[in-house]
Structure 1
């Protein structure tokens, strides 16, 4: 006998074809149970006999019923929606794309969907997207901020929104973060070029206001200063946003008068692509050394293969996911800052000696 007090004999009638999507009410009518019982079954809650559970599942399959996880979760006491938001600078960039995939792998283990968007280094876009995702009641937020300070998040953090910053540390608020030691990584890259005899090393850098760009430029300056190369002799080209910007900048360097650089350190993977294009067009691909920050697909197939400072994206994503889902589960420990050390991958382009 059914343990459901509201159970009734199952209907033998064939469900009429409908245009609208089947509802929980439709499933209840076809299976002969209450809507509450259907809710318990589709949400995998206890208190329903196996016989009734099978009857409800058969009715749901017959009606092609699709359970609205978002709506049902909002009715639960936990208020969870089974979604998190990931706001990165550009999810078409190989670093952000790989990071997103790594985070998705962690989220899948928690039966959570990832909603992602690109910020394009636009502070207003960041604020608008954060507001939109918070309004959708995401369970947590992963943010690679475009804003210089994030006080606008203070109210949400006080209200308990689990938030983890990635690639850049928070300013103006306290929250978990996972970053790479960008100063150390760029210092290793430049020291590697110096060890191969280079002194005229140009650095291609992003906007100075960006944390990562500033840190990588500082690593370059530290290494050059330690090597005894004064600031006046250091070659810095900043505010480069695209591969085309980098390509034009490198072309200009080799068309001007005076000693030309013998090596290039590109502070971002797409800037490295622009530098390689320029050197190839100038016939200098095998004469000028290049080291890029961030690996990317096919970098090892270039000629010469590109030497890079590689960030362990899988580890970064795993750490972000670990921190975020711990917070979602109720962890109230003080904010943690995880710093991951990058590695220098030697492939050939960074081992070219000065002519």
Structure 2
């Protein structure tokens, strides 16, 4: 920076202001400094800069989501990136894959790197292991799932309401034999969506049938196999509620292989790219990922800035997007 200042004929403080995009530098001086930066091939050393900051921030936040290859997690990460960029903050992101040990190890790594804050979509069911860091002042926001065992902010979707709407929609189109494909019921979101399914069935006076509740469906391939089994063992539902986006994709693939895609109604939970191009187009319960990311970012960066108000729990209602697959009437 001293070399840049000498080349541009300005003070070291002026170079610092330009490099850190601070106000108080005239346009002509900015141009001179920018030219000197380019001529000397200067690269800003963020770590060295952080060592000089009075607040000791690192300019990074950790974001741990379940599966960054899944369209929901990927879209959420992008939304958080947009918020972080306005705060001149970089994101360190990783997938948890519903593995508790992986979550704890990654949290330890991020804490060791002194991230300014943490966004967590937990695989664990109890989060007391974070209590020391939270008490020490690590801003932490839970997303998609609520915290248990610690006091922290969270932004979640009302999964019970969303699932009830999906199943009620199928019931309105004459269906009574409605299957549900869901992940491990011990996962908070999966358990809530199963509760919503059951609540809609009971509210409509439809007896619950264990054969129609297919759990531990982890992947699209699992969903496709489950669909094939439903129609080979005589269960034969007239409609299916797929309780996650990749399970809906596997469901659509399975029905197409059986030639049933225009006879069996389907509603999925979570939208995904090209869902509207399936035949028929997929009706889904959509989570507003943009709003979720914006709310998480707002809470996180307000805490980083020093907000010490009581923790907040933001719950967002999902919406039903009608496209065709959920409107196939019962035969």
Q: Into which bin does the TM-score normalised by the smaller protein fall?
A: over 0.9
> Could you tell me which of 168, 172, 195 is aligned with 1:195?
172
Paired position in structure 2 for 1:129: 106
Paired position in structure 1 for 2:240: 264
1:43 offset after TM fit, Å? Answer: 4.0
Paired position in structure 2 for 1:140: 117
Q: Which runs of structure 2 are paired with 1:61-100 in the superposition (5 Å)?
A: 61-100=38-77
> Could you tell me which of 184, 188, 196 is aligned with 1:211?
188
The structure that has the greater radius of gyration is 1
Contact 1:224/1:234 (8 A) holds in 2 = no
Deviation string for 1:152-210 (max 9, x for gaps)?
A: 11111111111110000011111000000000000010111111111111100001111
Paired position in structure 2 for 1:6: none
> Could you tell me which of 80, 85, 89 is aligned with 1:108?
85
TM-score (ref. length: structure 1): 0.87
1:165 aligns to what SS in structure 2? Answer: strand
1:84 aligns to what SS in structure 2? Answer: strand
> Could you tell me which of 261, 264, 287 is aligned with 1:288?
264
Paired position in structure 2 for 1:325: 301
> Could you tell me which of 153, 161, 179 is aligned with 1:176?
153
1:273 offset after TM fit, Å? Answer: 0.7
1:35 offset after TM fit, Å? Answer: 6.6
Structure with the larger RCO, 1 or 2 (CA within 8 Å, 6+ apart): 2
Contact 1:201/1:234 (8 A) holds in 2 = no
- Consecutive unaligned residues in structure 2, runs of 5 or more: none
2:124 aligns to what SS in structure 1? Answer: coil
> Could you tell me which of 191, 205, 214 is aligned with 1:237?
214
Paired position in structure 2 for 1:167: 144
Paired position in structure 2 for 1:336: 312
Paired position in structure 2 for 1:251: 228
1:90 aligns to what SS in structure 2? Answer: coil
Q: 1:51 and 1:107 mapped to 2: Cα distance?
A: 30
1:339 aligns to what SS in structure 2? Answer: strand
- Consecutive unaligned residues in structure 1, runs of 5 or more: 1-23
Q: 1:309 and 1:272 mapped to 2: Cα distance?
A: 11
Q: 1:221 and 1:41 mapped to 2: Cα distance?
A: 59
Query: What RMSD over aligned residues (CA atoms) do the two structures have, in Å?
Result: 2.2
1:74 offset after TM fit, Å? Answer: 2.9
Contact 1:200/1:234 (8 A) holds in 2 = no
1:206 aligns to what SS in structure 2? Answer: coil
TM-score (ref. length: structure 2): 0.93
1:37 offset after TM fit, Å? Answer: 7.2
Q: 2:58 and 2:128 mapped to 1: Cα distance?
A: 25
Paired position in structure 2 for 1:14: none
Deviation string for 1:254-313 (max 9, x for gaps)?
A: 0013x5110000000000111111110101000000000000111111111101000011
Q: 1:151 and 1:86 mapped to 2: Cα distance?
A: 19
Deviation string for 1:232-270 (max 9, x for gaps)?
A: 46610001110000000110110013x511000000000
Deviation string for 1:5-25 (max 9, x for gaps)?
A: xxxxxxxxxxxxxxxxxxx45
> Could you tell me which of 316, 319, 322 is aligned with 1:346?
322
The 10-residue stretch of structure 1 (107-116 or 211-220) with the greater mean CA deviation from structure 2: 107-116
1:41 offset after TM fit, Å? Answer: 5.6
The size of the alignment, in residue pairs, is: 331
Contact 1:293/1:308 (8 A) holds in 2 = yes
Contact 1:279/1:285 (8 A) holds in 2 = yes
